[in-house]
């Protein structure tokens, strides 16, 4: 593997014609509060930290930099369990003719309820974190899980899924083809259900529930900012694979601050930037990215947009970026070796790209136009989400210890 990468970022200011915004209601604030109530019913539930990087914000020339650290989520080192658990609960609620509010953890996991409702096998495709979250949730709630992973997935991640009692395999397919494989296998299983955050025609309920589950982290972060004296973030920068997390976070803040939304921006892996390419096309139609989708950002290596997430983003995201791998690696190193006085944040490759993006556009003159398009300045209060911790230890050490994907910015003065 090439240990450096001088690829450039691509950025599109969002000029896509707005739609009727019919999917914004998926992330209604009251609905997100319901998801939070469900998550709070788990014994493992704790609010994940919101770190205020005061020294870094001063260095970058902004007023405040806040990072939601999802490496602490349910002991699973990533945020994805929020979506899988809430979608499983919502599916069981619909199947039983009940409301998810009436099915907290202690009810769903009880022997009496499981015997009455029987077991469902939840099939899914994953680059690691989503599958582990589905496997963990299924196991905790007395259900079953089958997980398919694309080529290049880390064996560590497959092993973590197996530890949760799920059947898991790494296939010689890319992520989107693994989704199709899992969906086909679920269809052949009389007790099978596909649980995926990629939405397509005729398959929107479960992706909507997954997004609502992700809303828990946005609601927590919003409350934590308020407690720290920030009435509303001026900017929210969020990463995207298929766009479910991005749509969930952007959708939550668009609902909460309707008429006075933060400026919101989406970062993708450059080799799998289906949302950026859809925005750059400018028509409203989605663009699929095919092939192997090679990137160190395994959790973002998705080439087909979630139609629900895309619809929210086309209406509410200011800009979308296709980020090279060095930008993610830079973010991991900056989080892991912070300025004196700031907390250490252990952020994996998919968790750190927004930090690398923000730092780059604030530090390097060639990104001045992007900085201006996003109106980032000394008054900005920026929210980032570190979506995963050290989920692939070997790769993490290569980045932080060995300088994998280090970049020299020759002939360019850093803005300080």
Catalytic residue ranges:
80, 127
Q: Which residues pair with 148 in a beta bridge?
A: 125, 169
**Encoded tokens for 255:** 């609902």
Give the C-alpha separation, 309 to 50, whole Å.
24
Residue-wise burial string across 369-380, b where 16 or more C-beta atoms lie within 10 A, e elsewhere: ebbebbebeeeb
Give the C-alpha separation, 342 to 345, whole Å.
9
Give the C-alpha separation, 272 to 241, whole Å.
8
What DSSP character marks residue 18?
P
What residue has token string 């970049």? 407
Contacts of 95 (CB under 8 A, 6+ apart): 117, 120
**Encoded tokens for 122:** 């939840």
Nearest C-alpha neighbor of 316 from the set 10, 25, 9, 87: 25
**Phi, psi of 329, rounded to the nearest 5 degrees:** -60, -40
Residue 415 burial (10 A CB sphere; 0-12, 13-18, 19+)? middle
**Encoded tokens for 239:** 């990463």
CA 361 to chain centre: 21
Start-to-end CA distance of the chain, whole Å, equals: 33
**Encoded tokens for 403:** 């300088």
Nearest C-alpha neighbor of 148 from the set 139, 136, 157, 140: 157
CA 190 to chain centre: 31
Number of H helices, E strands in the chain: 16, 11
Give the C-alpha separation, 96 to 330, whole Å.
48
Q: Extract the runs of DSSP E, i.e. beta strands, from 212-318.
A: 235-239, 263-269
Within 28-73, residue ranges assigned H as helices are 29-40, 54-60
């Amino acid at each position: 593997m090439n240990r450096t990468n001088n690829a450039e970022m691509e950025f599109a200011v969002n000029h896509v014609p707005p739609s009727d915004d019919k999917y914004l209601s998926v992330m209604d604030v009251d609905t997100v509060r319901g998801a939070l109530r469900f998550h709070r019913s788990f014994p493992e539930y704790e609010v994940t930290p919101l770190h205020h990087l005061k020294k870094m914000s001063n260095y970058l020339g902004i007023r405040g930099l806040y990072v939601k650290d999802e490496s602490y989520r349910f002991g699973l080192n990533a945020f994805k369990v929020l979506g899988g658990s809430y979608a499983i609960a919502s599916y069981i609620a619909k199947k039983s003719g009940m409301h998810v509010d009436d099915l907290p953890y202690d009810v769903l996991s009880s022997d009496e309820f499981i015997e009455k409702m029987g077991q469902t096998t939840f099939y899914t495709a994953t680059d690691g974190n989503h599958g582990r979250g589905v496997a963990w949730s299924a196991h905790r709630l007395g259900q079953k899980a089958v997980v398919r992973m694309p080529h290049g997935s880390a064996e560590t991640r497959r092993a973590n899924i197996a530890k949760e009692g799920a059947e898991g395999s790494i296939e010689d397919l890319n992520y989107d083809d693994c989704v199709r494989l899992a969906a086909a296998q679920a269809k052949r299983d009389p007790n099978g259900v596909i649980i995926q955050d990629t939405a397509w025609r005729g398959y929107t309920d479960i992706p909507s529930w997954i997004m609502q589950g992700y809303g828990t982290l946005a609601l927590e972060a919003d409350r934590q900012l308020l407690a720290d004296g920030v009435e509303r973030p001026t900017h929210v920068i969020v990463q995207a694979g298929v766009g479910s997390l991005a749509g969930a976070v952007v959708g939550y803040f668009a609902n909460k601050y309707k008429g006075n939304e933060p400026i919101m921006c989406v970062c993708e892996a450059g080799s799998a930037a289906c949302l950026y390419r859809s925005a750059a096309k400018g028509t409203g139609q989605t663009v699929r990215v095919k092939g192997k989708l090679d990137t160190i950002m395994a959790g973002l290596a998705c080439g087909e947009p979630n139609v629900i997430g895309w619809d929210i983003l086309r209406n509410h995201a200011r800009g979308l970026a296709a980020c090279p791998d060095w930008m993610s690696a830079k973010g991991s190193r900056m989080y892991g070796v912070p300025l004196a006085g700031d907390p250490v944040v252990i952020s994996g490759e998919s968790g750190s790209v927004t930090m690398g993006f923000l730092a780059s556009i604030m530090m390097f003159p060639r990104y001045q136009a992007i900085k201006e398009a996003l109106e980032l300045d000394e008054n900005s209060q920026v929210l980032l989400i570190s979506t995963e911790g050290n989920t692939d230890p070997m790769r993490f050490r290569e980045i932080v210890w060995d300088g994998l994907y280090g970049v020299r910015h020759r002939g360019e003065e850093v803005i300080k």
